[in-house]
Amino acid sequence: MKNKNQSDDPLEPGKFYILNNKYDEALKFFLNYLSNDPGNPEVYYHLGLIYETKNEIDKAKDMYEKVLSILPGHVFAKKRLDKLVGI
Amino acid sequence: MEIKKPRHCAVVGLGVFGSNVVKYLHELNVEILGIDKDERKVDSVKQFLKLPIVGDATDVKQLQEAGLTAENIDVAIVAIGESVETSIYVTLLLIEMGIKRIIARALNNQHAKILAKIGVDRIIYPEANAAEQLARSLVSPNIIEEFELSPEYSITEIVAAKSFYKKSLKELAVRAKYKVIIIAIKRKTPILVEDTGETDLKEEIILVPDPEEEVIEGDILIVAGKNQDIDKLRSLQ
């Protein structure tokens, strides 16, 4: 039987690392996840967030662009990308 | 001398630069008279203008009839970007009309020198400023924004060095060691958006940070000091 508190979201550990400012661990998690699921826009989005918080702006932009190439309606990626390019 | 916040501004020339000036002034609750001979340009910003005028700014009678007078206008911004001659002519007209404060956009060095000679209060050189900032940011990627206080002193945004992570400002003793003051910290903090469950970043500025405040990875420090001291701080890893 499944615990009610258990999340169905397989990206949860990576998100947990991000929210706790453990960016290196989060980066490792999402890059590892990407090798198994290379077309997942949420993985690219979270990589974008990690790179942005680490001030690696070019890499962050690449990630948000990748999200939008897969899922053009991703509101959060669009918003972050617009901010980075100064729109 | 104290410069009061202007309440009534005139922007002459509503191209890309002029229209952006209009938008930002409008956000700051300044009433704006905008004039350009191109009706489409006036239309594109008319929602931000108290007085949108399609007209010839070289015609003093037209300017006065439109309300651009020394009594009505605190500051006039000459944002003409197509012709140096027109910009100089309009600037001269505004000086003769007794406008209290005139700010003019220079299109090149020669233009800037002439504007200075005829006595404008401030010369803006957006292309040169943007080019200088771009060049400096390419050579020194740790510099993000820079505001020159004097030829010797600046306020600069720099990416916090790795050796600063997880240390408090008190421990770092930046003022004692590097002779610069950290006046603010810009930080992007990951948050969970309640409605959607999506992760996002919250941007915050910690003004006059507490000495116990810890620097974390990704922090941008806004520092003030002598350029040479800021350079030393910037070169840290």
Q: What CATH number did the domain enclosing A45 receive? A: 1.25.40.10
Q: How confident is the model at residue B137 (pLDDT cuts 50, 70, 90)?
A: low
CA-based nearest residue to B158, from B228, B217, B230, B211: B230
3-state secondary structure B3-58: CCCCCEEEEECCCHHHHHHHHHHHHCCCEEEEEECCHHHHHHHHHHCCEEEECCCC
Lowest mean pLDDT among A9-13, B121-125, B136-140: B136-140
Name the residue in chain A with its Cα closest to that of B186.
Answer: A53
In a domain, B69, yes or no: yes
The mean predicted confidence, pLDDT, of chain B is: 88
| Predicted pLDDT at B163 | 93
Whether A70 is in a domain gets the answer yes
Residue B35 lies in a domain: yes
Last residue within a domain, chosen from B108, B129, B150: B129
Please state the rounded mean pLDDT for residues B133-150.
66
Specify the amino acid at residue B38.
D
* Domain extent at residue A80: 12-85
**At A34, is the secondary structure helix, strand, or coil?**
helix
User: Is residue A1 situated within a structural domain?
Assistant: no
Q: What does DSSP assign to residue B168?
A: B
Q: Greater confidence, B28 or B131?
A: B28
**B216 CA: distance to closest CA in chain A (Å):** 9
**Segment among A4-18, B57-71, B165-179, B204-218 with least mean pLDDT:** A4-18
Asked if B159 reaches chain A (Cβ–Cβ under 8 Å), the answer is yes
pTM score of the predicted model? 0.59
> What are the residues whose beta carbons fall under 8 Å from the beta carbon of B39, sequence distance 6 or more?
B54
Q: Same structural domain for residues B154 and B218?
A: yes
A55 CB within 8 Å of a chain B CB: yes
CATH code of the domain in which B216 resides: 3.30.70.1450
Residues B111 and B146 in one domain: no
| Chain centroid, CA A35 distance in Å | 14
Judged against a pLDDT cut of 70, whether residue A2 lies above it is answered with no
| A:B CB pairs within 8 Å | 38
Residue B50 pLDDT > 60, yes or no?
yes
Please count the other Cβ atoms lying within 10 Å of the Cβ belonging to residue A9: 11
* A80 and chain B in contact, CB less than 8 A: yes
Q: Distance (Å) from the C-alpha of residue A1 to the closest C-alpha of chain B? A: 25
Q: How many CA atoms lie within 13 A of A29 on its CB side?
A: 18
Task: List the domain range (segments joined by +) for residue B152.
Answer: 140-234
Classify residue A60 by burial, with Cβ atoms within 10 Å: 0-12, 13-18, 19+. buried
Inside any domain, residue A48: yes
B128 contact A CB<8A: no
DSSP A10: T
- The verdict on B216 touching A (C-beta cutoff 8 Å) is yes
The tokens of B17 are what?
Answer: 């630069």
User: Is A2 within the bounds of a domain?
Assistant: no
Q: How far is B47 from chain A (nearest CA, A)?
A: 20
pLDDT confidence of B140, banded at 50, 70, 90? low
